[in-house]
């Protein structure tokens, strides 16, 4: 039996739950408010899709699960308990699987968090964004700093010892000292979170903030202040013992998000729910974003099925893998594609090494972005599109 476990191919599962209390002003995700009936109907469809797809993945072992959204914690707790029961009943779930769920402050109680923990969820990702109530209000968050503190403390009491906190910089009206205060407030939590995701605000078309910006009604930090916030994130978190393992993610040793690392390393993953994307054996596909169509036929909602050719696989290997500070493995590239990285990308690699944006590390076994390269990662990674 142990031998069988070792032979299992690894698989990650993602569940998209599109409901939230209210859409944040910066959010362009597939999410919207919903009443309890809509949520229960959706969760039934999600179960139907997941259970009905299980036969396709009988040869795989599920090593991580991510329940995202939206705000999954707005769904009745019994729906999430049933979801986890069905996963265990129909999939081969690894004993040490990482099971993450996104929650927002103000949408959980001590009791619901205990139920989530008993259901098998062992990692929480809490959306804070800022420790300043005025900044939270400016971006349309539904909670206060006090509510975050209550939710964080309740998560610890419920037994969660692997917690991520999301924070954002370059928010409307935010100063450098204000952002620094958010970082320090998060680090002063007892015990502090094991993982911190730190993102700079991006104005996405169709959002409330984008429309305000277009009308000239949005006061944002200037570019120099934005850069200083970025630098302070790296320095303050490094001093506090967090390792930057990906462009926007920092973790205490051993607490890197295994699920997200799987995306960047192109592991097989299957997404369930509207709009959810999948990659299985170099085939990419995603589900319809039409909620009505999904509820009517959750097992018939796949769209844009694409068999990736070797060139596309190489491109993804490079521009996804370079997001991680460890870089991409030269040996793994050669094993997958039967040629060296230099044979395919030699000119691009040499140019970016000369420019101080790429470097070989660990005895030339990995190619990685330098600190300067991480600062302009999109520019570097775009050069690996053949």
pLDDT, mean of residues 173-182: 96
Same domain, 79 and 8: yes
- For the chain, the C-alpha Rg in angstroms (whole number) is 21
Give me the helices (H) in 30-101, please.
Answer: 36-53, 77-90
Distance CA 147, CA 153 (A): 10
Query: For the stretch 334-362, what's the b/e string if a residue is b when 16 or more beta carbons lie within 10 angstroms of its beta carbon?
Result: eeebeeebeebbeebbeebeeeebbbeee
Same domain, 230 and 318: no
Q: Could you count the other beta carbons within 10 Å of the beta carbon of residue 180?
A: 16
Strands 358-361 and 366-369: antiparallel
- Is 272 within a domain? no
- Is 92 within a domain? yes
Distance CA 3, CA 200 (A): 45
pLDDT score for 12: 98
Distance CA 19, CA 86 (A): 21
Same domain, 242 and 319: no
Same domain, 110 and 232: yes
Q: Decide which of 236, 263, 290 is a domain's last residue.
A: 263
48-94 pLDDT per residue, tens: 999 999 999 999 999 999 999 999 999 999 999 999 999 999 999 99
pTM: 0.94
pLDDT score for 6: 47
pLDDT, mean of residues 330-334: 96
pLDDT score for 386: 82
pLDDT, mean of residues 278-300: 95
Q: Decide which of 231, 246, 263 is a domain's last residue.
A: 263
Residue 196: strand pairing partners: 165, 250
The pair of structure tokens assigned to 189 is 């939590």
Contact call for residues 266 and 279 (beta carbons, < 8 A): yes
6-55 pLDDT per residue, tens: 457 999 999 999 999 988 999 888 888 889 999 999 999 999 999 999 99
> Residue with structure tokens 């205060």?
181
Same domain, 156 and 257: yes
233-256 pLDDT per residue, tens: 999 999 999 999 999 999 999 999
Task: Report the mean per-residue pLDDT for the chain.
Answer: 95
pLDDT score for 29: 85
**DSSP 8-state code for residue 32:** B
- Is 168 within a domain? yes
Same domain, 160 and 222: yes
Q: Decide which of 263, 291, 321 is a domain's last residue.
A: 263
Distance CA 302, CA 321 (A): 26
- Is 119 within a domain? yes
Determine if residue 126 is left, alpha or beta; phi over 0 gives left, psi from -120 to 50 gives alpha, anything else beta: beta
Q: How many helices (H) and strands (E) does the chain have?
A: 16, 15
Is the dihedral angle over the CA atoms 199, 163, 317, 375 positive or is it negative?
A: positive
pLDDT of 5 strictly over 80: no
pLDDT score for 2: 37
What is the domain count for the chain? Answer: 2
Same domain, 320 and 259: no
Same domain, 242 and 331: no
Distance CA 375, CA 360 (A): 17
Determine if residue 147 is left, alpha or beta; phi over 0 gives left, psi from -120 to 50 gives alpha, anything else beta: alpha
Same domain, 186 and 320: no
- Is 302 within a domain? no
pLDDT, mean of residues 331-350: 96
3-state secondary structure 102-150: EECCCCCCHHHHHHHHHCCCCEEEEEEECCCHHHHHHCCCCCCHHHHHH
The CATH number of the domain holding residue 356 is: 1.10.10.920
Q: Which residues span the domain enclosing 258?
A: 2-263
Distance CA 127, CA 197 (A): 9
pLDDT score for 100: 98
341-356 pLDDT per residue, tens: 999 999 999 999 999 9
pLDDT score for 7: 59
pLDDT score for 30: 85
Same domain, 250 and 343: no
> Residue with structure tokens 């209390």?
21
363-383 pLDDT per residue, tens: 889 999 999 999 999 999 999
pLDDT score for 28: 84
Same domain, 257 and 360: no
- Is 283 within a domain? no
The pair of structure tokens assigned to 241 is 């013992």
- Is 206 within a domain? yes
pLDDT of 1 strictly over 80: no
pLDDT, mean of residues 277-291: 96
- Is 285 within a domain? no
The CATH number of the domain holding residue 168 is: 3.20.20.70
């Amino acid at each position: 039996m142990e031998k069988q476990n070792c032979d299992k191919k690894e698989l990650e599962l993602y569940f998209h739950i599109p409901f939230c209390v209210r859409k944040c002003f910066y959010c362009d995700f597939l999410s919207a408010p919903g009443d309890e009936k809509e949520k229960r109907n959706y969760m039934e469809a999600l179960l139907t899709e997941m259970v009905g797809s299980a036969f396709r993945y009988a040869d795989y072992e599920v090593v991580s699960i991510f329940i995202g959204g939206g705000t999954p914690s707005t769904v009745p707790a019994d729906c999430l308990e049933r979801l986890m029961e069905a996963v265990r009943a129909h999939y081969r779930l690894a004993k040490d699987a990482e099971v993450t769920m996104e929650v927002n402050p103000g949408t959980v109680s001590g009791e619901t968090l205990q139920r989530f923990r008993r259901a098998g969820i062992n990692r929480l990702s809490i959306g804070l964004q800022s420790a300043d109530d005025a900044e939270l209000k400016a971006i349309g968050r539904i909670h206060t700093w006090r509510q975050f503190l209550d939710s964080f403390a309740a998560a610890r009491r419920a037994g969660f010892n692997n917690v991520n906190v999301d924070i954002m910089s370059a928010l409307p009206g935010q100063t450098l000292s204000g952002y620094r205060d958010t970082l320090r407030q998060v680090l002063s939590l007892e015990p502090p979170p094991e993982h911190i995701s730190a993102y700079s605000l991006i104005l996405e078309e169709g959002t409330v903030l984008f429309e305000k910006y277009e009308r000239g009604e949005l006061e944002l930090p200037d570019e120099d202040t934005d850069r200083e916030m970025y630098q302070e994130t790296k320095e303050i978190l490094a001093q506090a013992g967090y390792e930057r393992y990906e462009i926007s993610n920092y973790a205490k040793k051993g607490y890197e998000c295994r699920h997200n690392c799987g995306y960047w390393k192109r592991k097989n993953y299957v997404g369930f729910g509207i709009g959810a994307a999948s990659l299985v054996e170099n085939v990419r596909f995603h589900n319809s974003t039409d909620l009505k169509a999904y509820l009517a036929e959750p097992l018939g909602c796949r769209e844009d099925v694409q068999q990736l050719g070797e060139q596309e696989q190489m491109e993804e290997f490079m521009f996804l893998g370079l997001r991680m500070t460890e870089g991409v493995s030269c040996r793994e590239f050669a094993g997958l594609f039967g040629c060296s990285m230099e044979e395919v990308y030699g000119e691009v690699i040499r140019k970016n090494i000369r420019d101080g944006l790429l470097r070989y590390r660990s005895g030339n076994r990995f190619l990685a972005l330098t600190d300067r390269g991480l600062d302009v990662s999109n520019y570097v990674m775009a050069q690996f599109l053949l």
